[in-house]
C-alpha cells in the first residue's frame, strides 16, 4: 500500500485533470496517485450502513482555486467531505448543499455535492484567520459558535427540501450529526478531518458516516461508535495509506457486512459561459451602462470555483441596445 508521501507527487497532481494525465503517462496504480473515492457498505442485518470517503485531491483543488488560508481550508475541507457523504445517501441525479453560517470571521462556508460524485464549494472570507486552539486550527472559532446549518436537497421535485438546525459545536461533523438526528431522526456517527502540511497543502482529507435505519439498531450502532473511538483519526488512517474500503472494514470488524457500491469523486463546477451570460442579461440597463463607462468590458467570477468569464464591450453594447427597445 502506498502512503501519501512525496512533495513531488503532490505538485504534479493539483487538479483532477492532472491526476488523469499522470495516471495515463506513468501507469501508476490506483493507490499510488491518490484517487478520491467514496465507498458504501451495509451490515448483514440490513439495518446499519457505512460510508467513507477520501477527498484529498479535490480539497487540494478547492484550496488552490480559492487561495484559502489554513482555517478556511480546514473548514471547507470538512464541509466538502460531509457533503460527499450525505450525497452518497441520495439517488441518481440528486444533490445536496450545506451552508454553515455562523458569527465567526469566515462568514459562510458552502459545500455542494451530487450523488454522481461531483462537488464544489467556497468560503466567503477565504483568508480570515483565528488564533490556534491548543495548537490546532480552530474551525469552530472561524465559523463562529452562534448560527445555523442549512441543508438543501434537490431530489428532482418541483421544490427543493430545506432543513435548518442551530450550529451544535461549529466543528462541522458534529453539526451534521446533530442535523441528521434532529431533522431526519436518523442517529448517526460521523467523523471528518483535514490534515494540512506546513506549506499549506492538504496531506489528507476525508470522513466516514455510520447510520442506522429506523427503527434504530441501538446495540450495533453503539458497538460501531465504540469501535470508532479505538481507531486513529480519519486523516491519520488516510495518511497511513488506508483507502475508504479498508477504513470501513476496520470499523465494521465485529459486524458482518457487504459492499454496496463505490464512486469516484472530483471537484467539478457546473458553471459555464452560457450561465454567466444569463447573469449579465438580468442586469438593468443602468447597470450595463455603468459597466460600459467603468471599463472596456465585464468579468463575472463564479463563487464556487473562481473561474472568470469575460464579456467584451461590444457584447455589453448589444445587451444595452436590446434593453433600450
Residue 31: which CATH number?
A: 3.55.30.10
Last residue of a domain, one of 252, 267, 282: 267
Residues 102, 130, single domain; the answer is yes
Residues 63 and 77 in one domain: yes
* pTM recorded for the entire structure: 0.86
> Do 139 and 166 share a domain, yes or no?
yes
In a domain, 309, yes or no: yes
- Contacts of 1 by beta carbon, 8 Å cutoff, 6+ apart: 31, 241, 242
pLDDT of residue 262: 95
Given this model, what pLDDT does residue 198 score?
Answer: 84
Instruction: Classify residue 1: in a domain, yes or no.
Output: no
β pairing state of 118-123 and 108-114: antiparallel
We report the CATH number of the domain holding residue 277 as: 3.90.1280.10
197 and 95 fall within a common domain: yes
pLDDT the model gives residue 223:
78
Domain co-membership, 108 together with 223? yes
Give the pLDDT score at 12.
38
pLDDT given at position 29: 38
If asked whether residues 90 and 25 sit together in one domain, one would say yes
- Judge if 289 and 163 occupy the same domain: no
Residue 2 lies in a domain: no
The answer as to whether 41 is a domain residue is yes
Number of domains the chain is built from: 2
Q: Are 7 and 229 in contact (CB under 8 A)?
A: no
d(CA 99, CA 19): 29
With a CB cutoff of 8 Å and minimum separation 6, the contacts of 84 are 38, 53, 55, 113, 117, 119, 207, 265
Within 8 A by CB and 6+ apart from 145, the residues are 102, 103, 104, 167, 169, 170
| SS3 call for 27 | coil
Is residue 294 assigned to a domain?
yes
Q: Which of 55, 3, 263 has the alpha carbon at shortest distance from 172?
A: 55
Claim to verify: residue 183 and residue 313 sit in the same structural domain? no
- Residue ending a domain, choose from 220, 242, 267: 267
Domain boundary among 250, 267, 284: 267
**pLDDT score, position 118:** 97
Residue 154 parent element (H or E)? strand 147-154
* Predicted local confidence at residue 226, as pLDDT: 78
Same domain, 202 and 301: no
pLDDT in tens, the chain (325 residues): 333 433 333 333 344 444 345 434 433 333 345 689 999 999 998 889 999 999 999 999 999 999 999 999 999 999 999 999 999 999 999 999 999 999 999 999 999 999 999 999 999 999 999 999 998 999 999 999 999 999 999 999 989 999 999 999 999 999 999 999 999 988 889 999 999 988 888 999 999 999 988 776 777 777 777 777 777 789 999 989 999 999 999 999 888 999 999 999 999 999 999 999 998 999 999 998 888 887 778 889 999 999 999 999 999 989 989 888 7
Contact 175, 168 (CB under 8 A): yes
Structural domain containing residue 294: 273-324
Annotate 74-97 with b (16+ C-beta within 10 A) or e (fewer).
Answer: bbbbbbbbbbbbbbbbbeeebbbb
Amino acid at each position: 500500500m502506498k502512503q501519501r508521501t512525496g512533495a513531488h507527487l503532490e505538485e504534479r497532481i493539483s487538479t483532477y485533470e492532472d491526476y488523469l494525465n499522470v495516471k495515463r503517462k506513468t501507469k501508476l496504480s490506483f493507490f499510488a496517485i491518490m484517487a478520491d473515492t467514496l465507498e458504501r457498505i451495509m451490515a448483514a442485518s440490513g439495518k446499519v450502513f457505512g460510508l467513507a470517503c477520501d477527498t484529498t485531491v479535490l480539497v487540494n483543488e478547492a484550496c488552490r482555486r480559492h487561495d484559502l488560508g489554513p482555517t478556511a481550508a480546514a473548514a471547507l475541507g470538512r464541509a466538502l467531505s460531509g457533503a460527499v457523504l450525505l450525497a452518497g445517501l441520495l439517488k441518481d441525479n440528486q444533490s445536496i448543499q450545506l451552508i454553515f453560517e455562523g458569527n465567526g470571521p469566515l462568514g459562510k462556508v458552502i459545500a455542494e455535492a451530487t450523488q454522481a460524485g461531483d462537488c464544489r464549494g467556497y468560503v466567503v472570507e477565504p483568508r480570515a484567520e483565528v488564533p490556534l486552539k491548543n495548537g490546532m486550527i480552530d474551525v469552530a472559532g472561524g465559523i463562529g459558535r452562534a448560527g445555523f446549518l442549512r441543508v438543501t436537497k434537490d431530489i428532482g421535485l418541483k421544490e427543493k427540501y430545506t432543513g435548518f438546525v442551530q450550529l451544535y459545536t461549529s466543528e462541522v461533523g458534529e453539526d451534521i450529526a446533530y442535523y441528521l438526528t434532529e431533522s431526519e431522526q436518523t442517529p448517526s456517527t460521523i467523523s471528518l478531518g483535514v490534515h494540512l502540511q506546513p506549506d499549506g497543502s492538504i496531506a489528507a482529507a476525508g470522513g466516514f458516516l455510520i447510520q442506522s435505519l429506523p427503527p434504530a439498531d441501538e446495540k450495533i450502532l453503539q458497538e460501531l461508535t465504540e469501535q470508532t473511538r479505538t481507531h486513529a483519526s480519519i486523516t491519520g488512517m488516510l495518511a497511513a495509506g488506508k483507502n475508504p474500503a479498508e477504513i470501513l472494514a476496520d470499523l465494521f470488524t465485529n459486524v458482518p457486512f457487504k459492499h454496496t457500491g463505490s464512486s469516484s469523486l472530483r471537484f467539478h463546477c457546473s458553471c459555464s459561459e452560457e450561465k454567466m451570460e444569463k447573469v449579465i442579461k438580468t442586469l438593468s440597463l443602468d447597470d450595463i451602462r455603468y459597466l460600459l463607462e467603468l471599463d472596456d468590458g465585464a468579468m463575472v467570477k463564479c463563487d464556487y470555483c473562481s473561474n472568470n468569464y469575460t464579456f467584451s464591450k461590444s457584447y455589453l453594447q448589444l445587451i444595452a441596445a436590446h434593453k433600450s427597445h
